[in-house]
Amino acid sequence: MENSGKPRLIVEHMSKNFGIVKAVQDVSLELYAGEVRGLIGENGSGKSTLSAMICGSLKPDEGTMTFDGKAFRPKSIIDARNKGIAILLQERGTIDGMSVAENMFIGMEDDFKGRFGVNRDKMHKKAKEILHQIGADHIHPADLVNAYKFEDRKLVEVGRALYTDPEILIVDETTSALSLQGREYIYNIIRDFKKKNKSVVFIGHDLDEIMHVCDRATVLKDGKYVATISGEEMNPAKMRGLMIGRENLGHYYRTDFQPDYNEKEVVLRAEHLNYKSVIRDVSLELHKQEILGVCGLSDSGMHDLAKALFGAYKLDSGTVTIMNGQKAITSTTQAVREKIAYLPKDRDSESLFMHTSIKDNISVTCFDQKKIGPLINKRHMKRVAGQQAESLNIRCSSINQLAAELSGGNKQKVVVGKWMANQADILIMDCPTRGIDVGVKAAIYDLICQMKAAGKSIIMLSEEMAEVIGMADRLLVIKDGAVQGEFLRDKTLTEHMLVEKII
Amino acid sequence: MKKKADIRQFISTAVPYIGLVLLIIISIATGGKSFMAAKNLRNIMTQSSILMVVAVGTAFVMAHGDMDFANGGTMGLAMVVTLALCKGIPSWAVFPMCLAVGTFIGVAIGFLVTRLRVVAFIVGMCIMRLSSAILYTTTNKKTWLAPAGVVKLNKPWFYLMVCLGMVIAGIVFFEFTKIGQYNKLIGVNRNAASLSGINVNKYLVYSFAASGLCAGVAAFMTTVRTGGLSSSTGNYEVDTLIALTIGGMPLTGGSKASIRAAVIGALALTVLNNILVLWGVNADFVNVVKGMVFLTLVLISSRQNAGQVTG
Ligand SMILES: Nc1ncnc2c1ncn2[C@@H]1O[C@H](COP(=O)(O)OP(=O)(O)OP(=O)(O)O)[C@@H](O)[C@H]1O
Ligand SMILES: [Mg+2]
């Protein structure tokens, strides 16, 4: 790494507290021109908080920043963007009820001044141009942003960040929300930044990705700076060591390489499902104690399939049947009653109650447990929530804290906790480890294995092929809404074999 | 963290109480004898008890974020059906009849909102218009009196008991059954509620039914109070909205919704009304004051939610 020249951005002694939570403590770092810097650490280690301070959305309690030799004190995200630092947020950064173009140019409407206020045509044309550059031609500038899926909304944010042609780009866990293709676009953008001698801060939990994308990586732990590593040192084991204090996590995925489930006992059967044109004649069987992996690109229809299996869609045709009692699943209420759980990919808008306590978020599935006559048992619900928060090790000040205040990974744990509390028998997990740090990831895989051992059945949908190969007994590949292939668990199964079917 | 959050929580729940206490102190200080007169206090109690019962029901609808503009109209229709349509109804049947009509209208609204996807606010407006038109035509040439047995109930203890019963029932259903709790969660995030297995439509219907039922009870209380049908029956839509907002009910519903808001708000609004009248403020101006109070509260509560665009 050529550390020649002066650093472009110097961050010195930054701290940020939320009440007694010391989210960031005395962190300093220097970012050089042409550098792609990884920022890694466990869930809640302060990565997002630090980047929020750099990009102007949070005021630091202490510390100073210098950007290109000048003191840098951004007043807001928009201010920072105008000064040359843009961010791709971890959480949803688009505003519902506004069009794609309006979202893209928020705070910069002046650039499109026409005779009568904003010149929409001009705005839409520019938006179209940018969307084309990032390969998102399927997104239309005039549409409401809510009409689009999570991945597409992220791409709108990418467009917004690029519009101002920033000198420094912060990418906060954006790639985990994108499809393979979307990721490629981001990698291209990063390469482009490097070529132009600009800098990137890249936050993520996928250590292989960090290794490939970044020149150096800075590790945070409990809000404190730990180390900055580069070159040879930047290997997953070393990074894990610095992040969580243990290099070896023992086994990560399953250690057995045989499909191992009860072939005779089908617990859930889907027959000839059709929904609009996103699910095409999909049939599948889930067996007792089986981990059924489903993988495909994010626009393959697999996320819709997950919802359909959970009864969330009014299908055009086909049935989902729970074999124990031969009941057809036609609504989410019934699915939950039959002990099916669903962890959506877009947890913020589909699973979490944001400005509501962690307790209420977890216990939402427990209203029918241990009732006192006709009344709900609040004490029991509180106890269950407390147990889950503890066993999942959710980093919070108390279970009365609002879910909105948690770090991304901890939010995901809340969602997991809510279904654990319901003691579901069949779990449909859509990207269950998205945004979760390696330590917790291992814990979640462990949990999945435990659930399997306890007789539960799991459908695990993921865009990360390694994790599906590592965990599934049987694996379905989805493309264009239809099942393209089926694989049994095998030592020789490689990502390559799947990719052939996926693309 | 905990301390600060708890303090913030405490303040936001305490403000309505403090406001009510202040209002009462000011009223006693400035209204003096005429405020504390037994007759005046009895008046306050009667008025606030009816408003409170309506507001308790409305709280269930507001919990999930809908505006309830149907409560007054429902009251009016319940009274018309009971007193005019079922002319000569025996005294004992008046209460169940009011209750049944109110609940029926509530359920009907629920179906319109959930099945036909009409906005609740619009349905409410229609019911309000419908009720006032029907009331006008029925009371135009004829007077409709309540059975004597019903009018006999017009005693302070009656209002107190009914109101107390409804508030307690309201708290039980709101805090300790799925009806209130689910509606709050639907108010926070309808999508997540549905994907957590909550039968959203069913619980929306329950909330409208609860509101209709309470309006039915309030219709009975009004029958007792006025002894018959009058063209101005109902007219509670705006007052309940203001009362609930004063009591701390967020207009968007969600986890801060409570029955407490109905209780404190109804008391505060009635006392405010009363003291303004005692001060000799004219009736039109009373409405202006109420409007200003409401606007201020709406501004404050929307200010609290600002700045959290990306959550
Ligand atoms: N608005 C807030 N109020 C209270 N606490 C907060 C708030 N925002 C963040 N925190 C806390 O600060 C700590 C750091 O959070 P941050 O979001 O920076 O973590 P992170 O490293 O980005 O984690 P993740 O990998 O899960 O995204 C966490 O313990 C979190 O709960
Ligand atoms: Mg984060």
Residue B306 pLDDT greater than 60, yes or no: no
Residue A439 CB–ligand 1 contact under 6 Å: no
Binary contact (B192, A350; C-beta < 8 A)? yes
Is A346 inside a domain boundary? no
Q: What is the pLDDT of residue A381?
A: 96
Verify that A432 and A330 share a domain, yes or no: yes
Closest chain B C-alpha to A150 CA, distance in angstroms: 14
CATH code (residue B209): 1.10.3470
Of A192, A193, A228, A223, nearest in space to A210 by CA:
A228
Is A345 inside a domain boundary? no
Write the residue in B175, B188, B196 that is nearest to A355 by C-beta: B188
Binary contact (B185, A360; C-beta < 8 A)? yes
Verify that A219 and A277 share a domain, yes or no: no
Verify that A212 and A304 share a domain, yes or no: no
| Cβ-based contacts of B4 with chain A (< 8 Å) | 19
The CA angle A252-A300-A491, to the nearest 5 degrees, is: 35
Is B224 inside a domain boundary? yes
pLDDT tens for each residue of A134-167? 888 889 999 998 888 888 888 898 888 888 889 9
pLDDT tens for each residue of A281-319? 999 999 999 999 999 988 889 999 999 999 999 999 999
For helices B156-176 and B200-226, angle between their N-to-C axes, nearest 10 degrees:
170
Is B255 inside a domain boundary? yes
Binary contact (B178, A312; C-beta < 8 A)? no
Verify that A88 and A226 share a domain, yes or no: yes
What residue owns the CA closest to ligand 1's atom 15? A44
The closest ligand to the CA of A204 turns out to be 1
Q: How many CB atoms lie within 10 A of CB A27?
A: 23
Task: Give residue B143's domain range.
Answer: 40-303
Of B263, B250, B218, B293, nearest in space to B64 by CA:
B250
CATH code (residue A487): 3.40.50.300
Verify that A326 and A459 share a domain, yes or no: yes
Q: Which of A244, A272, A299 is the last residue of a domain?
A: A244
Residue A296 CB–ligand 1 contact under 6 Å: no
Q: Which of A244, A265, A296 is the last residue of a domain?
A: A244
Cβ proximity of A471 and A253 under 8 Å? yes
Verify that A240 and A257 share a domain, yes or no: no
Verify that A29 and A113 share a domain, yes or no: yes
Is B11 inside a domain boundary? no
Closest chain A C-alpha to B174 CA, distance in angstroms: 11
Verify that A58 and A119 share a domain, yes or no: yes
Residue A51 CB–ligand 1 contact under 6 Å: no
Give how many domains chain A has, as a whole number: 3
Is B189 inside a domain boundary? yes
Write the residue in B185, B310, B311 that is nearest to A364 by C-beta: B185
Verify that A43 and A60 share a domain, yes or no: yes
**Helix (H, G, I), strand (E, B), or coil: what is residue A29?**
strand
pLDDT tens for each residue of B196-229? 999 999 999 999 999 999 999 999 999 999 998 8
pTM of the model: 0.86
Is A261 inside a domain boundary? yes
Give how many domains chain B has, as a whole number: 1
Verify that A212 and A193 share a domain, yes or no: yes
ipTM of the complex: 0.88
Q: Which chain B residue has the Cα nearest residue A94? A: B310
Residue A4 pLDDT greater than 60, yes or no: no
Is B205 inside a domain boundary? yes
Is B1 inside a domain boundary? no
Verify that A267 and A163 share a domain, yes or no: no
Cβ proximity of A496 and A477 under 8 Å? no
Residue A47 CB–ligand 1 contact under 6 Å: yes
Is B19 inside a domain boundary? no
Query: B97 in contact with A at a CB cutoff of 8 Å?
Result: no
Rounded Cα distance, A480 and A294, in Å: 13
User: Could you identify the atom of ligand 1 that is nearest to the CA of residue A42?
Assistant: 25
The closest ligand to the CA of A413 turns out to be 1
Task: Give residue A161's domain range.
Answer: 9-244
Q: Which chain A residue has the Cα nearest residue B185? A: A353
Q: What is the pLDDT of residue B5?
A: 57
**Model confidence band, residue A496 (pLDDT cutoffs 50, 70, 90):** confident
Q: Which of A244, A272, A294 is the last residue of a domain?
A: A244
Residue A409 CB–ligand 1 contact under 6 Å: yes
Verify that A189 and A334 share a domain, yes or no: no
A371 alpha-carbon distance from chain centroid: 35
